[in-house]
Structure formats: C-alpha cells, structure tokens
Structure 1
Amino acid sequence: MEKKIIEVVAAAIIAQNQVLLAQRAANAQDGGLWELPGGKVEAGESHQQALRRELQEELALTCEIGASLGCAEVEKEHCIIRLHGYIATLPNAITPVLHCHDAVHWVSYAELADYAMPAADIPLVAALRQYMQAIPNKERIIIPAENRLKINKPRNRH
C-alpha cells in the first residue's frame, strides 16, 4: 500500500540576521522540539496561501513570503511528510500569540545547531544557512531594533 503524502509548509522568518523558531507544544507530536513555524497545506491552497494562513492561525503573524528554501521529505510509519520551506519577513513589529506552541525565540544562524528539531526541518535549516551566506550583508533584511519582536530567551533550549 502506497503511503499518503502530506504537504506541509514552513517559514524561516528573518530579522536582524536571526530566524524565528517555535517550540512545539509538549503534548504534540515531536513535542518540545524547535521548528520553523508553519503547517499543513489544505486542498486548493498554494504553498504561500497555506503558510500565510498557518502563521496567522498559530502565531497571529502576518508575513511576506519570499524565496523557496527547497523541500525535505520524511517517511513516517503511515505517511510521508513533504515539508516545503520559504523565507519570510514581517512587514512591521508584531508580537506573536502562542496558540499551538510553548515558546518562540529569535536565534542567530550560529545558534541554530543548538536547538533540537524534527528531522524534516534540518535540511531546510541547512539551506537557510547557505542562503544567508550567499547574500551580501548590505542586502540582508534589517529591521530596526525598536521594531523587532520582543521575546525572552529561555534558560533551557532542549
């Protein structure tokens, strides 16, 4: 029997050379792991539409969706998860509302390796690092400090 493919999208939300990670709720699948926020694509939605909807539903964020980071597949017992990653930006300062996650953090690219993540996110994070290294500093997305999300860093990242 052929496994069902579940299409999922995730956003690498970038500001000040940092990316926003969300911690999955403790009672969710892969609970406690850190991820690029996103969710499942519904019938009739484009990846960008699904990502905008998921970010609004899960974090109350309205983001601009940009370049693709590629796709990663993970085979589970009963299905295949196909995760499509995208660069995203916040047009203005918005504080996320945690509906489905336990926490969110702004993380430098060097710190990304310190966070335990689901298997599908790992290749997208590697693609994100390559993407950011390829962009000259003067072209990187810079948001003034007063407009950045204000999020407390946790003591324990795992």
Structure 2
Amino acid sequence: MTSGSDQTPVTVVGAAIAREDSVLCARRSAPAHLAGKWEFPGGKVEAGESDAEAVVRECREELGVEVRVGEQVGADARIDDRFTLRVFLARLEPGQPEPSPLEDHDLLAWVPRAGLPGLDWLTPDVPIVLELSRIPWSNL
C-alpha cells in the first residue's frame, strides 16, 4: 500500500510577461518529449513560497530577469492528476536586460498577441493563450 505522499498536489506557475503588444514565449528544449513546444516561463512553487514569489524566482532562474507580478490569467489548468498550472501577468522591472533562455529553453520570442495562437503550445497553456487574446490590453 502506498502512502499517497508521492501524489501531493503541485502548483506550477507561469509568467505571461507583457511588453507593448507582445508576450514573451519560451520554446522547450527539455525534456525530449516536450522539446519544440512553447510555454510561458515558470516552474514549481516551492514549500513556503507564494505563487507570486515563485514567478519572480523562476523568471530570475530561467530568464535572468526581475519581474513585477500582476493578476492571474484565466483559470487554473490541469497538467495531469498531480500538477496544476497557474499563469500570471507580469512585466519586466525597469532597467532589466533582455531575457535569456538559461534553463530548459532554446529560444525566447516576443510574440504579438495576435500571433500567439500560431505557436505549437503545450496543452495546458492553450486556454491561457486564448484568454490573453480576450482581456483588454490596457489591463496589462
């Protein structure tokens, strides 16, 4: 009999980093079965960390930049039975360098909102892409 501790729910956060009429998108390079798919940069929320703190940390680790975190975009998206994706609007803090793909990505691109649906997204990110096309850009 298993204790179930290996099935602890995990929240994964993503950052929809907005600049002018574009959103920063990241193309996966690892693991192999996800390589070539697009996502919003981010990662797992660590113990004792808020969602916003995780977004800031992940952007620092994955992109080498500091961000200001805004509201959640759309609803939580199920990745599988254990993982839930929660994406937040974000903006680069003033004076930041251009983001660089430091972990698990081989390409970053500033994609105009109208072009977001044309990318080959990871399945959990698709509802977020659709929501980004619906929300008033002035909210960003």
Give the TM-score normalised by structure 1.
0.76
C-alpha displacement of 1:26: 4.6
Q: CA separation in 1, counterparts of 2:70 and 2:30?
A: 30
Higher helix fraction: Structure 1 or Structure 2? Answer: 2
Q: What aligned pairs does 1:82-101 form with structure 2 within 5 A after superposition?
A: 82-92=84-94, 93-100=96-103, 101=105
Q: Does 1:73 align with 2:73?
A: no
Q: Does 1:48 align with 2:52?
A: yes
Q: Does 1:104 align with 2:108?
A: yes
Give the TM-score normalised by structure 2.
0.85
Q: CA separation in 2, counterparts of 1:9 and 1:81?
A: 10
Q: Which residue of 2 aligns with 1:118?
A: 122
Contact 1:71/1:124 (CA < 8 Å) preserved in 2?
Answer: no
Contact 2:117/2:130 (CA < 8 Å) preserved in 1?
Answer: no
CA deviations 1:104-157 (Å, max 9, x no partner) are 0010111111111111111111121111xx34xxx365xxxxxxxxxxxxxxxx
**Length, aligned pairs only:** 133
The root-mean-square deviation of aligned C-alpha atoms, in Å, is 1.9
Q: Between the two proteins, what is the percent identity of the paired residues?
A: 35
Runs of 4 or more above 6 Å deviation: none
Q: 1:90 is aligned with what amino acid?
A: L
Q: 2:82 is aligned with what amino acid?
A: I
Which runs of 5 or more residues in structure 1 are unaligned?
142-158
Q: What aligned pairs does 1:107-146 form with structure 2 within 5 A after superposition?
A: 107-131=111-135, 134-135=136-137, 139=138
Q: Does 1:30 align with 2:34?
A: yes
Q: 1:44 is aligned with what amino acid?
A: G
Q: CA separation in 2, counterparts of 1:97 and 1:17?
A: 20
Contact 1:21/1:105 (CA < 8 Å) preserved in 2?
Answer: yes
Q: CA separation in 1, counterparts of 2:46 and 2:70?
A: 20
SS, match of residue 62 in structure 2: helix
